[in-house]
Amino acid sequence: MKNILVIHYSQSGQLSEILDNLTAPIKLVKDVNITSFTIEMEEEFPFPWTKSDFLDAFPESFLQKPKKIKPIPETILSQKYDLIILGYQVWYLSPSIPINSFLKLPEAKRLLANTPVVTVIGCRNMWVMAQEKLKTLLGECNAKLVGNIVLVDRHINHISVITIVKWMLSGVKKRYLGIFPKPGVSQKDINEAGKFGTVILNQLLSDNLQNLQERLLEKKAVVIKSFLVIVDKRANLFFSKWAKLIDSKGEANSGKRQALLRMFSYYLLFVIWVIAPIAFILFLLTYIPFYGKLKEDKKYYSSINVRNTRTNGRAI
């Protein structure tokens, strides 16, 4: 008998649906026992978000400051698991506050110690540096990352920015104005997540988790877009400066914090709509000379390897 624990947090239910579909083929097998744990905050984040709450979550998300979560039940903590499937979403290029808060708990560290972990990400499209931060958090838990599956919005970056903001501020996952595509991960990708569950099941039952990521990559569990990796790395450098400034100068709810957050929001708009298109042209112009480095990065970020570099807000 194999024991699997599925841990996640989801506001809209998108990640819950991904994990339900992913684990469906595993649940059909008698020899595998699946337990689920949903992370709950002591003070829940709003959904739908207001504009100000959405911005206000930036410094603490990026600086990976934990908040209180409800206790993990003893029935979960008292078991040893053969595999943990950890579903998470990205907030401001970092693992979301609920996931970060969970992984920093001493109880979670004990639960994950010496246990293989598969991460399942459901986000817009910018997750590469968040996963580097998650690898660090898993390292601090002494957990062993054996697989990573990433489901993203496949529409072009600027379209997905518009549609996700509408979704987060309305709480409804529908086509904005009837012309934009639906936000978030497509229903097709959500429905087909079971193919990854089958791979996990086969590798687990054959005691071959060390080859899991290779098998998952054959099913396109991770697709790396080089331009998004470059943007993610650069944005981490600038976000780091903004987050530290807002955190150091602006006390909670103070006028100073609100003013700095407003400035940060204008900065974000400028970067997304002015800098990013210019950067994309530069990316295309320099594609050939940088081809080798881009290829190497693609291979690394598709893998579960850990580079020997600190990732706390720094580009690698």
Q: How far apart are the first and last CA of the chain?
A: 41
**At a CB cut-off of 8 Å and minimum separation 6, what does 253 contact?**
none
Under the binding rule (CB under 6 A), the answer on residue 21 touching ligand FMN is: no
Q: Measured between alpha carbons, how far is 237 from 100 in angstroms, rounded to an integer?
A: 20
Task: Tell me which of 26, 168, 201, 216 binds ligand FMN, using CB under 6 A.
Answer: 168
Closer by beta carbon to ligand FMN, 150 or else 212: 150
Under the binding rule (CB under 6 A), the answer on residue 57 touching ligand FMN is: yes
Q: Which stretch binds ligand FMN (CB under 6 A): 7-15, 26-34, 138-146, 211-219?
A: 7-15
Q: Closest distance between ligand FMN and the C-beta of residue 197, in Å?
A: 18
Total Cβ atoms within 10 A of residue 310:
10
* Token pair listed for 11: 């506001």
**At a CB cut-off of 8 Å and minimum separation 6, what does 88 contact?**
8, 9, 15, 95, 96, 99, 119, 120, 121, 134
Which 35-54 residues touch ligand FMN, going by CB under 6 A? 54
Q: Closest distance between ligand FMN and the C-beta of residue 62, in Å?
A: 9
Closer by beta carbon to ligand FMN, 62 or else 81: 62
Under the binding rule (CB under 6 A), the answer on residue 201 touching ligand FMN is: no
* Token pair listed for 175: 């086509």
Under the binding rule (CB under 6 A), the answer on residue 92 touching ligand FMN is: yes
Closer by beta carbon to ligand FMN, 127 or else 264: 127
Q: Which stretch binds ligand FMN (CB under 6 A): 9-17, 238-246, 262-270, 275-283?
A: 9-17
Total Cβ atoms within 10 A of residue 277:
11
Q: Closest distance between ligand FMN and the C-beta of residue 157, in Å?
A: 10
Phi first, then psi: what are they for 196, rounded to 5°?
A: -75, -35
SS3 category, 147: strand
Q: Measured between alpha carbons, how far is 126 from 180 in angstroms, rounded to an integer?
A: 20
Closer by beta carbon to ligand FMN, 54 or else 102: 54
- 107: part of which helix (H) or strand (E)? helix 106-112
Q: Which stretch binds ligand FMN (CB under 6 A): 12-20, 202-210, 272-280, 284-292?
A: 12-20
Under the binding rule (CB under 6 A), the answer on residue 86 touching ligand FMN is: no
Closer by beta carbon to ligand FMN, 150 or else 209: 150
The vertex-301 CA angle with 299 and 307, nearest 5°, equals 100
Least Cα distance to 57 among 101, 14, 20, 17 occurs for 101
Which 101-140 residues touch ligand FMN, going by CB under 6 A? 122-127
- Residues of the shown chain interacting with ligand FMN in the complex, contacts defined by CB under 6 A: 10-12, 14-15, 54, 57, 89-93, 122-127, 164, 168, 184
